[in-house]
Homo-oligomer: A and B are copies of this chain.
Amino acid sequence: MTLETTDNGKPPTIRDVAALAGVATSTVSRALSNPGRVSARTRERIETAASRLNYVPSSHARALSSGRTGAVALLVPDVTNPFYFDIIRGTQNQLKASGYTQLLVDTEESADVEREALRKLRSSSDGVIMVASRMSDEQLSAVAATHPLVTINRGVPGVPTVIIDTPASIGQALEHLASLGHHSVTYVAGPAGSWSNAKRMAAFDESSSQLGLRTVKIGPFSPKTTSGAVAADAALRSGSTACIVYNDLIAIGMLQRFAERGVRVPEDVSIVGCDDIFGADFCNPPLTTITAPTEQAGRVAITMLLGQLDPMHRNSNRRLAVLPTYLTVRGSTGPFGGSAQ
């Protein structure tokens, strides 16, 4: 039941409200966005008028004159990668709670697309969250210098970042494998340009040498289940009895391939994934993986970004958040040969 009293066909503007309330537009503007600035009586009159007209301020007009857009852009490498689902959900929720709108952009795992998107969005958003950006440190720093920016899973000196500390759990995963009796472990690498892949690989190298494990590395592979087939075949050829895989998507693809080839998991080969995405708990066998607090990452990133925007929160101005992860053991890891030890 929309009663647009001033029904000239177009949606009501601030002027219509002002007229109905018998005040100037400036007063309406203040009453609505800066309550303390007008007396309670006038404010009330204005609010009544506004709701009678079902008035909604034009975000564009507001953006134009105030410079604030009320929107935050989220740049994600691939919207269909389940890993990002919960990040998107996290940012979405946190933004809505603060009255912001989310602009979602799929950057197709390309630095160029990221750059192009940034160019366009710079003027139409108050800030940007970039997830697993492929851009160079210099470029990201440059962006951060002119526009509020928070990165997720991409550390850049001087740029506020939230990091899901998957590498920290890789040691734990390797210990888990070692204690099951594995001596040789393969790292199945993700995309070449990926920062998190580099970090995971480095942690793998370090921990495995500490544990005295023999290691092999294969890849890079695209982070999709379809890469699993090649990865699985390569893993088999590597001669290791266990794999740590860049992410669950590839790991699940490998599981499928192993099933096809009659390779038993975990009797013939153990698999550890990363991220604990949707599906990791119900694939066959369920995947042992490093669980990541992805939704929290989204929320924290927004909190940090809003902190940059709103001078109120300037105090709580963290520049870095490192979120802990943990190993979730399921059915895809076990002793080689299947004998409990």
A→B interface (CB under 8 Å) = 2, 11, 54, 56, 58-61, 63-64, 69, 79-80, 82, 85-86, 88-89, 92-93, 96, 101-106, 119-120, 122-124, 142, 225, 252, 255-256, 278-279, 281-285
Residue of B nearest to A13 (CB): B123
Contacts of A283 in B (CB 8 A): 279, 282-284
A123/B252 in contact, CB under 8 A:
no
Contacts of A59 in B (CB 8 A): 60, 120, 123-124
> Distance (Å) between the CB of A292 and the closest chain B CB?
15
Contacts of A120 in B (CB 8 A): 56, 59, 101
Interface residue SS majority, chain A: mixed
A255/B278 in contact, CB under 8 A:
no
Most B-side CB within 10 Å, residue of A252, A279, A281: A279
Per assembly, the copies of the chain total 2
> Distance (Å) between the CB of A278 and the closest chain B CB?
6
B89/A80 in contact, CB under 8 A:
yes
Contacts of A124 in B (CB 8 A): 58-60, 101
Contacts of A281 in B (CB 8 A): 256
> Distance (Å) between the CB of A86 and the closest chain B CB?
6
B79/A88 in contact, CB under 8 A:
yes
Which residue in B63, B69, B279 is a CB contact (below 8 Å) of A278? B279
Contacts of A92 in B (CB 8 A): 79, 104-106
Alpha-carbon gap, A282 to B282, bound state (A): 8
Counting from the closest, the 7 A-B pairs by CB-CB distance are A284-B284, A60-B63, A279-B279, A104-B104, A60-B60, A59-B124, A60-B64
Q: A123-B60, A279-B279 are in contact. Are A82 and B79 (CB under 8 A)?
A: no
Contacts of A82 in B (CB 8 A): 82, 85, 278
11 more CB-based (< 8 A) A-B contacts, given A11-B122, A255-B282, A282-B283: A56-B122, A60-B69, A79-B89, A80-B278, A92-B106, A101-B105, A102-B103, A103-B103, A104-B104, A256-B282, A279-B283
Alpha-carbon gap, A104 to B281, bound state (A): 28
> Distance (Å) between the CB of A135 and the closest chain B CB?
14
Most B-side CB within 10 Å, residue of A2, A106, A119: A106
A89/B106 in contact, CB under 8 A:
yes
> Distance (Å) between the CB of A270 and the closest chain B CB?
18
B106/A104 in contact, CB under 8 A:
no
Residue of B nearest to A10 (CB): B67
Alpha-carbon gap, A255 to B279, bound state (A): 13
Which residue in B2, B60, B85 is a CB contact (below 8 Å) of A79? B85
Contacts of A54 in B (CB 8 A): 119
